[in-house]
A and B are shown apart, each in its own frame.
Chain A
Amino acid sequence: MELLLTGILIVIAGGFVSAFAKTNRFAGLTAVMSLILGLGIAALPVITMLLKGGSYKLSLPWSMPGGALSFGLDPLSALFALPVIIISPLAAFYGTAYLEKEHHHSRTSWLFYNILVASMMLLLVSRNALLFLVIWEVMAVSSFFLVVMEHRSGEVMKAGWIYLLATHAGTVAVIFLFLIMGKTAGSWEFERFAAASAGSTSVFFLAVIGFGAKAGFFPMHVWLPEAHPAAPSHVSALMSGVMIKMGIYGLVRILTFCGKPAVFWGWSLIVIGLTGGILGILLALAQKDIKRVLAYSSVENIGIITMGIGAGILGTAWNNTALIMLGYGGALLHVINHSVFKSLLFMGAGSVLYSTDTKEMDRLGGLGKKMKWTAVAFLAGSLAISGLPPFNGFVGEYLLFSGGLASLNAGTYQSASLAVVMFIGLALIGGLAVVCFTRTFSIVFLGEGRTDDAKIKRRLTAAMVWPLLFLATLTLVISFASPWIIKSVFLAVRGLSPVPIEMNYKPSSSSLMMLVISGAVLMGLAGLLYFIRRRLPMGDVETSAGTWDCGYAKPDASMQYTSSSFVDPVIRLFGALADRKGKNPQVRGYFPASTSLETDAGDIGEEKLYRPAFVWLEKFAAPLRRFQHGHIHGYLIYIALTLIILLIWKV
């Protein structure tokens, strides 16, 4: 435990040193070195915990009334710490090169970066509600400063405010949550919470709202597609890959205090997950900005994770051990998987933005030939996020499917319905993810450049390629190591179940082993076929020609399919769910004059829910505005009045 805290202190210290560094380069290097050193030290107890299990505790006095510096580590915290430890240094390393472009103020940004990383680690080990809240707030504020790093643009500031508002709306729910729990338990210590708030529905739903806002549950996801594109890419990688998982952590941590859950909790989470999953990926399809696509796809993946947690809750409620293990296990494994491939994809998008200055997919194309290794890594990431074997995304989804199969054993209507919902939901989400990522990868990296923007303006440095390749390898490594990784995941799941689960639960290990072997055979077979193909008598005889154009005399790069035309048939099927507004051009006559097309993909949550709500709120709140008149003596009177009222009330 002390090792872990030492590591975190090193990270914070590194942040302060880099803030006062003379040059940007030195600041970046200090930050990266401190992250590697600090998280490397912190990794030791985390990995031991994941292999051996158990729990550590450490409590220090704190001057805050009711608060205490209580820290603890168990397999659940350790599992969520793993993405922080892996992704943060890589994203920082990438960031040092990424920021060299034009940021004169990148030095201070490293302070916030390191504080964000440290706060995530501290959040995972804090075992006191007040401490948790303070760290939760530090995390929100430091990430806000990172989002608005390029604050000269109005768009970025707007995104930042939306994020700050959304995350604080969530924090309000978290504060209420802890107030209720603290009042019933009579203490702010987590270990007292467990007994006090068992089976409380209000606690559960406050947790869903409060932590769901951070994780990006539908319809509280609206900040993701604003904040992720606005933030510098290494920050979006860290936020989307790692930080939103803290919301998931908060939710499952609260679940450990809730005792035996009610059946409808599980169903609510399944419904939330399903809506988020399907709408998230649909809205991703409607986007043209590559980083917005990735942000919406995070909403989708959080949806998958939520479905898994819902299945785990139902398993607990029905006493179905296999469902507990596979539901929670699939969800937690997907947490790790998503952190790997989503940060990979965000950094890939960052490289595209860095070298072409645009993230508008329809302006790009053919980058695969100019930045080959980035394209290879991005391809691996997009295969993984589409849940295709032999990459890691498939393993998580396979566990969830197996959970659906396991729930059939119970033989009741409800358990069969769960299987049906999981199968249809995952199938639809998986199918749409294939649409989304064939599109994203091929529009950006394949074909010919659609406009002049697709020309390389800045060359990528090695520091921007290696982290991607490392993460791409990691997607395969996690997949092939899954029969062993799953043991640690199950260790964490055991902590989530209120009833003890026997240590030797491993029916899925043998299937995972078969998956690993099949995955290896698939790669070997593809390699072998390619080798044979080159060795054929004429296998290496190649002629080069233009693409077949049906005899048309003047093919042009602008005739290629675009990101919008590619998904148009799919979007049309869903009608109003992923509505695109815009002006359609009128084409008249045989020689039409030049015309233009404008489309804009709206967000159903924003348009149907928040805009009406905020319009109403404004109408309601407008009369209150006269109380805020800007005269300082007026405000002094308010303070005096409040004090007098409080005094009278107390007496």
Chain B
Amino acid sequence: MKLLHWLLPISAFIIAPIIPGIINRVKAFFAGRRGVPILQLYIDIWKLLRKGSTYSHTTSFVFRIAPSVIAAALILCTFFIPWGSISSPVSFSGDLIFIAYLLDVARYFTVIAAMDTGSAFEGMGASREVQFGFLAEPAFLMGILVLVMVTKNTSTSGIMQHLSTSVWADSGILLILVATAWYFLLLTENSRIPVDDPNTHLELTMIHEVMVLDYSGPDFAYILYGSALKLWIFSALIVNILLPVAALPIWLQPIVFIAGTAGVAILVGITESIIARLRLVTVPKIIVSASALCFIALIFRIIG
């Protein structure tokens, strides 16, 4: 039984890079293209890991250690994510708050590494990233609070285990509000349309991609892998909230869970295909509205 829990993060490490592949496939489908192989990210990472790297003269130690720290923070996050009622190998009271701060650690190092290159473009990306980051923080933490109030549990695994059908019947609308808000966060934090375009080739408009422009070789592999894990973490949280995975028999749960994550990936692909990118000045409104959704959920919970 103990081994089963440790299997969760390990399988997440293996599966995570498929998610960007699925998103790309969906986008290709909408655009009428065949698209890159679904396993393209594995190929990219493998290729990058065997390359040497190029560093700018301007960079210092920060630029060199950042990819390892970013990847480490996101790998550690994965250990706290349960799959339905199968709890994560480690959990403690308030570990969702810890996850929020680990994501901040990753952001912090991405930003200072970008600033380390002395490039105006990367500075621009960094400035946007911190702006959206601080706006996203309250939405994430308020969402946590709603989940804690609804399930009367304080650890991620405990929360997800207690999302039973009766909880759904009682406060399903709150869970939908939180999941919607967190879906906005998923789009923001993972540099997806309508906030950021992962495919853009114009440095002026990029956010996340522009911050890692100067990375190459194994460093870039770490960063790509970290981004895939981040996407996994957000999708897994949303799947846990939205699908009543915990109510299913235990052998079915992993299958439904993975299918659900794929579903989120497809949803992201569809969102990216049918929505145009927003102007940068309107992005804060999207994120603030995510906070507003969580706040509404909180008010409902406290009053109702």
Residues of A that sit less than 8 Å from B by CB: 365-366, 368-369, 372, 375-376, 379, 383, 386-389, 394, 398, 401-402, 404-405, 408, 413, 416-417, 419-420, 423-424, 426-428, 430-432, 434-435, 438-439, 441-443, 445-448, 507-508, 510-511, 514-515, 518, 521-523, 525-530, 533, 536-539, 541-550, 555, 557, 559-561, 565-570, 573
**What are the nearest 5 A-B pairs in CB distance?**
A561-B123, A431-B134, A541-B52, A442-B115, A447-B118
Give the docked Cα–Cα distance between A398 and B100 (Å): 11
Residues of A with C-beta under 8 A to B67? 529, 533
What would 6 more interface pairs be, CB under 8 Å, given A544-B57, A547-B214?
Answer: A526-B68, A544-B56, A548-B214, A559-B120, A561-B115, A566-B127
B2 to chain A, nearest CB (A): 17
Q: Nearest chain-B residue to A514 (Cβ)? A: B92
A413 to chain B, nearest CB (A): 6
Give the docked Cα–Cα distance between A428 and B140 (Å): 11
A324 to chain B, nearest CB (A): 17
Residues of B with C-beta under 8 A to A365? 118
Contact A447 to B94, CB < 8 A, known contacts A522-B73, A561-B123, A567-B127: no
Contact A434 to B104, CB < 8 A, known contacts A427-B142, A441-B112: yes
B137 near A430: Cβ-Cβ < 8 Å: yes
Residues of B with C-beta under 8 A to A514? 90, 92, 95
Q: Report if B11 contacts A (CB, 8 A).
A: no
A545 near B57: Cβ-Cβ < 8 Å: yes
Interface centre among B62, B69, B118 (most CB of A within 10 A): B118
Give the docked Cα–Cα distance between A635 and B67 (Å): 74
Interface of chain A: mostly helix, strand, loop or mixed: helix
B53 near A530: Cβ-Cβ < 8 Å: no
Q: Nearest chain-A residue to B219 (Cβ)? A: A533
Q: Nearest chain-A residue to B128 (Cβ)? A: A569
A-B contact list, 28 entries, CB within 8 Å: A375-B60, A383-B105, A383-B108, A387-B101, A388-B104, A401-B94, A405-B93, A423-B141, A427-B142, A431-B135, A442-B112, A442-B115, A447-B115, A447-B116, A508-B93, A518-B76, A526-B65, A526-B68, A526-B73, A538-B217, A539-B52, A543-B52, A543-B55, A544-B54, A545-B54, A546-B56, A560-B119, A566-B130
B93 to chain A, nearest CB (A): 5
Q: Nearest chain-A residue to B288 (Cβ)? A: A573
Contact segment of B144-152, B166-174, B182-190? B144-152
Give the docked Cα–Cα distance between A518 and B102 (Å): 10
B92 near A511: Cβ-Cβ < 8 Å: yes
B130 near A570: Cβ-Cβ < 8 Å: yes
The residue from A442, A518, A530 contacting B65, defined by CB atoms under 8 A apart: A530
Give the docked Cα–Cα distance between A514 and B90 (Å): 8
Residues of A with C-beta under 8 A to B97? 398, 401
Residues of A with C-beta under 8 A to B144? 423
Q: Report if B51 contacts A (CB, 8 A).
A: yes
Residues of A with C-beta under 8 A to B104? 386, 388, 430-431, 434
B296 to chain A, nearest CB (A): 12
Q: Nearest chain-A residue to B131 (Cβ)? A: A569
B149 near A416: Cβ-Cβ < 8 Å: yes
Contact A570 to B131, CB < 8 A, known contacts A402-B93, A420-B302, A522-B76: yes
